């Protein structure tokens, strides 16, 4: 997690794969059962296009306990549906 401004309701995630930062909105955070995100927090996520055409946004956030699958835009291993 690069940063999250709780007072503004958004932030940006820096993926481990070196791709561009990904926008994350408070609504995606809350849908994931979290209330906020912290700088440096490791999460996995998926991306989808932003309706306003401003680039991808993060959805389906999950906190990652280990370092193996964090911030890659993919599901952590072992969490098959």
Encode pLDDT of 25-40 as tens digits. Answer: 999 999 999 999 999 8
Q: Which residues contact 57 (CB under 8 A, 6 or more apart)?
A: 22, 23, 24, 25, 28, 47, 48, 49, 50
Question: Which residue range(s) make up the domain with 14?
Answer: 3-63
The answer, yes or no, to whether residue 81 has pLDDT greater than 70, is: no
Whether 32 is in a domain gets the answer: yes
Question: Residue 13, Cα to own-chain centre: how many angstroms?
Answer: 6
The number of distinct structural domains making up the chain is: 1
pLDDT digits (tens, 9 = 90+) for 40-75: 899 999 999 988 888 899 999 999 986 554 455 554
Report yes or no: 9 and 26 within 8 Å, Cβ to Cβ: yes
Whether 47 is in a domain gets the answer: yes
More confidently predicted of 81 and 62: 62
Whether 80 is in a domain gets the answer: no
């Amino acid at each position: 997690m690069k940063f999250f401004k709780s007072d503004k309701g958004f932030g940006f995630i820096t993926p481990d794969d070196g791709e561009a930062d990904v926008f994350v909105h408070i609504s995606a955070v809350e849908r994931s059962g979290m209330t906020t995100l912290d700088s440096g927090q490791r999460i996995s996520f998926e991306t989808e296009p932003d309706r306003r055409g401003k680039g991808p946004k993060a959805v389906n956030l999950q906190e990652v306990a280990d370092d193996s699958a964090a911030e890659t835009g993919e599901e952590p291993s072992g969490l098959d549906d």
